[in-house]
Chains A and B, each alone.
Chain A
Amino acid sequence: MKAYRALPLLLGMLAVSGCKDLTVPDFNNPSIDELTGADASRVAVVTAAQGLFVRARTGIAARAGWVSNLGIIGRESFNFDAADPRFITELLRDPLDGGNGAFGGNFWVTPYRGFREADIVLNALDALETMPDAEKNGVRGIAKTFQALFLLQVILTHDDNGAVVTVAEDPTGEPEPIVDKATVYSTIESLLDAADADLGNAGASFASDLSFPSGFTGFDTPATFRQFNRALRARVDVYQGNFATALTSLGDSFLDDAAPFSLGVYYSYGTGSGDAVNSIFDPSGLIILANVAIRTAAQVQTDGVTPDQRFVDKLVSVPTATDQATLGLSSDLAFNLYNSADAAVPIIRNEELIILRAEANIGIGGAANLTAANADLNLIRSAAGLAPIDLAAMTPTEQVDALLYERRYSLLFEGGHRWIDMRRYGRLADLAADDQVAGLQLPALFPFPVGECDARVPPPSQGC
């Protein structure tokens, strides 16, 4: 019968097909296996280390990012985007909502993603055999410095709510504990110091296959990267009131009276595929505006007419734009700071270090220190065309006023300095003076994002 000839054919097809391998890899993304365990390769680890530069600038210059959102809360800027009224409603009117990742729930997910990435790099380095120890130490120094920077972002926004300072190997297990602010700051300090030590053992140069973006130009050797590390440490010292330590850290940083104020380390942006643009750049002139209080509060230069040179340089008059949430906000002032899609945003720069030194000296007090502080502030003021001041003739409150004025105009719209400074000195309520309408909110800190609360049973006692 013919059927008997067809049957083996059919059975053959079954047998062949039934035993075929169905494994299909992920075509779109590399696997994490390339960074964990024995399979980790040098090129993957180096690329992951470079990824920290990419991660660090993520969310900094976004429309709803570090500079813009903290600028709004700190009464430096507005965002009048009609398509998203939350720039007004949530940031200025209603309580911050941890459910909105771009607003109340912000400044948590991205830094911890970066913290984890640095952790993966550190673990991979321990197992990696194809890299000399000095090069490993260099990468460790970079990774730990970034971990400190990420935690600093978290604690600056979440303040008394506290933060998480460790990552567990298994991300699907119980969440790591939330610790208090002081513990977070001490973790940041020890990370910076450990990085400093690693960089000290990293030889004269980093691994040759490790590339740095343009924002790190001048800070791309272990010795110069240490200066950046110490600058961050100085900022942390001052924020904690450890003024003597701050002076030591500043001494090891890149602070230089003779160098341009702009000397420093920056977040870089670009227009290539896969790169990110600086989204605070707003050529329409209708969306990102400056608070007009910056105009009224600006001091006048010694010619008696021209406003503070920093105001002249950093701001520009535009046609009046209004908020679409009809709170009655408007502005005819825009920033002249980020004028292209690849404009860099400062991480820390010389001008801040000079003022940090002044602040530390004011904090320590005493005639000699005040004189030093006076010199630093007047260095800043003379560059801005302003008359010198005399701290010695001022009350302590006036000294702080003077200090905060310089910080406000020197660090304008560079990443939440105004809001953080006013909180540090317990003056947050004073920001209401810059509002055009009464009754706007002045949040002191951010809640945890809703996902962090949901992942914890019971939820944290505060911050949710």
Chain B
Amino acid sequence: MRSRCVVLVGLLFGLWAGSAHAQTRVVTGQVTDAVTDAPLEGVGVSVAGTTISARTRADGSFNIGVPVGEVRLLFRHIGYKRAVATLSGGVSTLNVSLEADVFKLDEVVVTGRATEISRRNLANAVATLSGEEVAQVAAQSIEHALQGKVAGADVYTNSGAPGGGAQVQLRGVSTISGANSPLYVVDGVIISNEAVSSNTNAVTRASAGSNASTQDGPVNRVVDLNPNDIESIEILKGASASAIYGSKAPNGVVIIQTKRGREGRPRVNVTQRFGFFDLSEKLGFRTFEDAAEVDAWGGAGTAAAVGFTPGQTFDHEQALAGRNALSYETQLSASGGSENTTYFASALWKNDEGIMQNTGFQKQSIRVNVDQQFSDRFRANISTNALHTLAQRGLTNNDNAGVSPYMVLAFTPNIVDLRQRPDGTFPDNPFERSNPLATIAQMKNDEDVWRFIGSLRLEFDAIQTGNHSLRLLAQGGVDFFEQKNDLFFPPDLQFEDDDGFPGTSLVTNSDNEFLNLNTSVIHTYIPAGGGTSFTSSAGVTYATRDLSSASIQNQGQVAGQESIAAGIKPTLNEVRRRSEDFGFYFQEEVLTLNERLLLTAGIRGDQTSRNSEDDKLFWYPKAAVSFRFPGGGGFLDEIKLRAAYGEVGNEPLFGQKFTPLTATANVEGIPGLLVQGNVGDPDLRPERQREIEGGVDATLLNGRATVEFTGYQKSVSDLLLTRQLAPSSGFALQIFNGGKLRVRGVEAALGIVPIQASNISWLLRTTFALSRSKVTQLDVPAFVPGNAGFGTGLGTFRIEEGKSVTQLVGNTGNGGPVGQLGDANPDFRMGITNDVAVGSFSLFVHADWQKGGDVVNLTELLYDAGANSEDFEADDGGSFRIANFGSSAVGTSLYIQDASFFKVREATIAWQLPQQLVSGIWGAIRTARLSLSGRNLFTFSGYRGMDPEVSNFGNQAVGRNIDVAPFPPSRSFWFSIDLGF
């Protein structure tokens, strides 16, 4: 241990360098927008070849002390191309205009834990989205706002349930059974994206036992964030970019910066949105022509028993999920500040009413970001965010108890009236164990989350001379949330007497706490003459992650009382996890040859309590190079070649290294100690991912077009695999490191401005990505990963050497062999975004296209099994499918279906009210905008289920795309007013 500490000390002293001050003179001037001539506030002004910098004031003016003699001044501003001006020794005033940077060429991108570099030089394909792009249309979760916008980021929702549940998968699969979420970093703080199950499993019995299950449709908690607060999102897609995050970033990193205040008078913005959600896809029901058909379906006397009238049908889906209730969102923000203190404050109140009764999503957020400049050298940034969300998610997904609505409707034809009677009661469902309309109306499934995310960042410029700067940075952050799941199923629900204990009540209280501490030193050396800079950074991080979840389930709530204490058959569960880890990193960036060549090298060392040897360091190196060639005139402005390599890890999950006993089981209160099944591996360590990427970026047509092309290969070795032990040993499995997988892919992004005139502009952006994976080595027999299907008879994922990681297999015929029948991975994915502005009107349309990929449509199998699917009697329809299912050469393949889709994700049409009209109404109003927008407006898909974006098992590294009675999809429509004061 001691030797490591000493190494670090030496490293830091190595950074130390002497310096001397130089004589200065003062230059003043103003910066304006090239098109509108409006003054630009907050533009960074710096002297090339030095670390001297300043910022423009609200009127665009600046003054900066520069060395005597000729200097080059650099002007940078978010959203604008940078400008360079050479100033001879005698000139002391300078006015500059900046052009809009629609393709973000001059944006700075965070490349280390504390360093950043201009996109122009970047060696990785890092995607960035501005807050404006994220907040175009009201979104419940940031993930929704990312869908289809980033090449190589596959963002899928798990179902249509209100309140999120979505997965961001960067560059395909990265693991089989390790952690599958990208790392979310908000204002420098690693936040939790934990998904704690609600435990609807207690009534659905989707998984055996009473433990919460991923089939509960859990919500991953990034949903809590307020998309309106976002200034920018940066996505590090693979190991070559995220290596500096070590074993925390196997699935990439999503870096979110929230808005901050700027010096100047207070600016207040108010956004009010009204809208509604609307069921966007139905499955339909079989049509029964006459009583004879009904009796043939349900047995003699069925038609009479349910009062069948030919032609009279009851649309259960509409009754269940046809609600269009008013939803709204109010966002207030204020920002401003004095020379030394700036602030941004915001508040959000959002209330989305779901398409089913008793479902919906509420979010409240308060954010205060304060930046304080204590002296020229010492700054502090404080970010605080208090959040509350309430998700009411109904009851969906797989079920073994006849309670999940779409599971029940599969066996309930539309000939029976399930609607509420005038006296308030619901009829029993004669064909199944529950009436879904009653279940949804009377049950409760509330997920209530209170959350605080806060961080403090201190920056101290220890040395700042003409050529050297040394910055010390200390940052601490905490993310704490408390989640309470309250579920209640009253005893008079039809299914509730099935087990002899009518009435079920559940409470789960979960606490999650992330703590991050991070100190860094950044040294920049800029040799005289300019065009070259050396940036060294080193630091230490310490982080803890705690989760504690206690749940009580009680059955036999006979009196109909919700209190958890009112039942007679209690079940208690608790899960606690804690991880502690250290990271050490060093990075060197060299920008030279007139800022054309970038060389980067870095290394991160990680140790974590999740490894069997918790004090062993694992090293993750990275290296990158990029070179910008100037265009030779003509249409090509500039072309950049880049290559990057990096490694990251994927830590074992908590508990995988232990050989546990079970102490919770008892018989009549007599406790027992039992073998649980896992045999801890004394050498369990992180998976290792090695990624190499290379690409070409070009700017064309005088900045009117950009093209980015990237190819990558990532190889993951030391996979966390499960070795099945012979069951006769009395143990079940051992988690060990072995096997390899590989993902290759290409990504492309094209941006073009076909029209750019003073009152009309059109910006078109497209993204394209495809990836292919392969299991290159598997040290265990082919296996079905956990939560990846229901056996080969029904179609399941299977990890098999030489095959795609996401292959779907099934029985290829009656008694025939198990073989590949599909692949969840799409052929390709493409995003198309149009921004059109005509005068004060603007139109934004964003579409998301997926070609290929397969889904196991078990919902259809259920409807077919119930002889109740809409096309049951059609040629090759439901009766054909169910008759051939598992008993002919067609086998399981009929239910493994193409998941191609084209979705119009977002559309907004907006009118910026004329200034004179606005100020005529009320002088205080600076700007006003009216807009109509919608999300998921149209879906074009040949998929026969409700939505090809589906995952019965929630977020999974591999096992998505299993469709079992999900929450139906919806579209939303919004009318918005934005006012600026």
* B-binding residues in A (CB < 8 A): 1-3, 6-7, 10-11, 13-15, 17-24, 26-32, 34-35, 44, 47-48, 50-55, 57, 81-85, 99-100, 108-109, 112-117, 119-120, 163-164, 167-168, 171-172, 175-176, 178, 211-214, 268-277, 281, 283-284, 286, 322, 324, 340-341, 449, 451-452, 454-456
Contacts and interface: CB of A to CB of B under 8 A. Distances in A.
Contacts of B462: 1-3, 6-7
A115 B498 contact: no
Given A84-B400, A120-B675, A274-B666, A452 B728 contact: yes
Nearest to A83: B400
A375 B11 CA distance: 95
Contacts of A273: 570-572, 664
B9 A11 contact: yes
13 contacts: A29-B663, A35-B661, A48-B661, A83-B400, A83-B407, A99-B792, A108-B727, A117-B730, A171-B730, A176-B728, A271-B501, A273-B572, A274-B571
B578 A18 contact: no
A115 B8 contact: no
Interface string B361-395: 00000000000000001000000000000000000
A271 B569 contact: yes
A22 B497 contact: no
B2 A19 contact: yes
B576 A214 contact: no
B500 interface: yes
Contact of A341 (B569, B584, B676, B734): B569
Interchain residue pairs A-B with the least CB separation, the first 8 = A116-B730, A51-B672, A3-B462, A29-B660, A175-B726, A455-B726, A54-B672, A164-B728
Contacts of B667: 50, 53-54, 57, 213, 268-270, 275-276
Contact of A119 (B614, B666, B730): B730
A176 B730 CA distance: 11
Interface in B655-678: 655, 658-677
Given A27-B578, A283-B500, A116 B731 contact: yes
A10 B665 contact: no
B729 A29 contact: no
Interface in B777-823: 781, 791-792
A273 B723 CA distance: 31
Contacts of B519: 10, 13-14
A268 B667 CA distance: 7
B580 interface: yes
Contacts of B614: 22-24
A30 B674 CA distance: 10
B400 A26 contact: no
Contacts of B474: 10, 13
Chain B facing A: main interface SS: mixed
Interface in B700-744: 723-732, 734
Given A116-B675, A272-B570, A324-B865, A168 B578 contact: no
Interface in B524-576: 540, 542, 568-572, 574-576
Given A83-B399, A273-B571, A26 B660 contact: yes
Interface residues of B, number: 90
Contact of B463 (A3, A84, A275): A3
Contacts of A276: 665, 667
Interface in B577-636: 577-582, 584, 607-609, 614-615
B170 interface: no
B472 A112 contact: no
B411 A82 contact: yes
Contact of B540 (A14, A284, A341): A14
A29 B662 contact: yes
Contact of B668 (A22, A213, A454, A455): A213
B513 to A, nearest CB: 14
A341 B661 contact: no
Contact of A11 (B2, B12, B517, B662): B12
A457 B655 CA distance: 30
Contacts of A454: 724, 781
Contacts of B540: 13-14, 17-18
Contacts of B299: 322
Nearest to B736: A172
B824 to A, nearest CB: 21
A176 B401 contact: no
B499 interface: yes
B521 interface: yes
A172 B725 contact: yes
Given A24-B580, A271-B501, A324-B865, 8 more contacts: A14-B9, A30-B661, A35-B673, A48-B672, A51-B674, A53-B667, A114-B730, A270-B668
A18 B659 contact: no
A274 B668 contact: no
Contacts of B664: 273-274
A271 B661 contact: no
A462 to B, nearest CB: 16
B104 interface: no
Interface string B476-509: 0000000000000000000001111100000000
Contact of B582 (A18, A116, A275, A449): A18
Nearest to A62: B208
Contacts of B572: 273-274
Contacts of B724: 451, 454-455
Nearest to B502: A283
Given A2-B377, A273-B571, A322-B299, A172 B679 contact: yes
A52 B672 contact: yes
A28 B573 CA distance: 10
A345 B299 CA distance: 36
B451 to A, nearest CB: 23
A24 B609 contact: yes
A331 B556 CA distance: 29
A204 B768 CA distance: 80
B660 A31 contact: yes
Contacts of B731: 113, 116, 171-172
Contacts of A29: 655, 658, 660-663, 676
Contacts of B542: 17, 20
B578 A54 contact: no
